[in-house]
Amino acid sequence: MRTPIMLLIIILFTILSGCSAKKSLPNEELPSNSNEVHPKEVSLSSFEIEQIMKLASNGMVIDSPFSIFESSIQQVKSSWGEPDQIDEVAGGSYATYKERNTVFGFNQYGEIYDVRSYNKNLQELKMEKIKHELGQPKDIRENNQESIYVYEMKNKTELKFIFSNDLKSVDHISIYNPGRFETKQYTLDIKGNSNQLSVKAWESMKNWREEIKQFSVEHPSVYVNGPNKKMVALTFDDGPDEKITPAIINILNDYNVKGNFFFLGSNVKLHPEVVKQAFESGHLVLSHSFNHVELSKLGKSEVEKEVKRAGEEIQSVIGKMPAILRTPYGDTNDQVVNVSKEQGYSIVLWSIDTLDWSQKDATNIVKNVVDNVRNGDIILMHSDSDKMETEKALPLMIESLEKMNFEIVELETLLNIKAYQ
């Protein structure tokens, strides 16, 4: 027979053993900062689905702090470095960061419109689970390889669960902002007239304008205009020279306006002091090739040489390699685009041609701008030695644009791209 003292000892031992035993919790109940649990071991419960929805409402997905409402691919690169790869699709580009399980879709202005997470935990989510927690999706899109469940969020953004048809589980999720994607589709008609063009020349120009506009839609690294914001850019081709280019620089400085100079490498070699003046005044010094030839008529090695020589000539003067190229005559094809990208260039053309090279008249130059200006216009002028009327027109143009409340900016700001490599 056990004594009361023995019974008391047994009871105390049992209580103490229970208190010291480690409680076993299911993975989803473990604290997020536990060092004993690898993230892939945490199952996706209702709580995690709620977290996915909460992040999505702010334009984000798991693993990424970047938003489809306000982030840019430049911000991603500044924080995460260069992506493993960039793939172009019609209307946009996609940057892949493999180690971070994240892909960003961005438009031609660098604005992020799609963020995708490939976090392996997502594979635990099944179709039935998603529908049970979130209800019936707004839309289900299917193809041979996958099914996409689309849930509409605020501001008409979409949260998408992409299911593998083989596994019937989530492959990845996407938060998508169609408003930012459609910004790429804001492509302006190219404006500007001259009474000095023959009927044949005018028809040829109109055809080129339509063709290059469509070409820019299909090639995200080719720009005809900027976004639908009340900003414009003033650009000047064919310089530098010893007279007109310095005069234009001085006018821009007087009005505290930044310009964009597409210099020919051959002229940079002749007038390096003018190039330095433009750069030190805060204007962008960009490339217009070396010899001003039709690049589409050259072989690949010749195109490479034209672009490379011009960049190196500019770099020898300002210490920086340009990252923006304007092709002579706007002459651009797939080969020119590919060579430019290989050498680190975006191609920037124009949406208003002042025709200062044809109808050399200050009144017409200003009229071509004032009558046609729209949000995001890139305005083409020239700064070589016979453009006295352009010099005369520039102050009137700046004053007119400012009265219309347009902000005059450099291309780096307008297009959200790098000016220098």
Among residues 237, 238, 241, 377, the one annotated as catalytic is 237
Map tokens 């702090």 to a residue.
65
Active site residue 382: yes
Phi/psi region, residue 241 (left: phi>0; alpha: psi -120 to 50; beta: rest), is beta
Q: What's the CA angle centered on 322, arms 320 and 326, to 5 degrees?
A: 160
H/E segment holding residue 133: helix 127-134
112 - beta bridge partners? Answer: 106
Residue 338 host element (H or E):
helix 334-342
Contact 326, 292 (CB under 8 A): no
Using the 8-state DSSP alphabet, how is residue 184 labeled? G
* 364-398 residues labelled b (16+ CB within 10 A) or e (exposed): bbbbbbeebbbebbbbbbbbbeebebbbbbbeebb
* Residue 322 preceded by cis peptide, ω within 30: no
Supply the DSSP symbol for 248.
H
Report the DSSP beta bridge partners of residue 163: 147, 170
> Active-site residue among 238, 377, 382, 384?
382
Q: Is 271 assigned a catalytic role?
A: no
Task: Tell me the chain's radius of gyration from C-alpha atoms.
Answer: 29
Distance of CA 401 to the CA centre of its chain: 26
Distance CA(409)–CA(401), nearest Å, equals 12
Q: Which residues are catalytic?
A: 237, 382
